[in-house]
Amino acid sequence: MTETSRPSPLLIIGLGNPGRGYRRNRHNIGFQVLDALAESVDARFTRMQANALVTDARLEGICVILAKPQTFMNNAGQSVGSLARFFRLPPEQILAVYDDLDLPLGALRLRPGGGTGGHRGLGSIVDHLGLDDFPRLRFGIGRPPGAMDPADYVLQDFGRADEELVSSNVERAVACIRSFALEGIQAAMTRFNAASE
For the stretch 125-154, pLDDT in tens is 999 999 999 999 999 999 998 889 999 999
Report pLDDT for 6: 57
All structural domains of the chain, each given as residue ranges with its CATH number in brackets, are 10-195 (3.40.50.1470)
The pLDDT tens digits for 34-69 are: 999 999 999 999 999 999 999 999 998 899 999 999
Q: Is pLDDT above 90 for 194? A: no
Q: Is 128 a catalytic residue?
A: no
Catalytic residue among 6, 26, 27, 172: 27
Confidence category of residue 4, pLDDT binned at 50, 70, 90: very low
Confidence category of residue 1, pLDDT binned at 50, 70, 90: very low
Q: Is pLDDT above 90 for 177? A: yes
Report pLDDT for 2: 45
Q: What is the pTM of this model?
A: 0.93
Mean pLDDT, the chain, rounded, equals 93
Q: Cα–Cα distance between 155 and 123 in angstroms, integer?
A: 18
Confidence category of residue 196, pLDDT binned at 50, 70, 90: low
The pLDDT tens digits for 21-31 are: 999 999 999 99
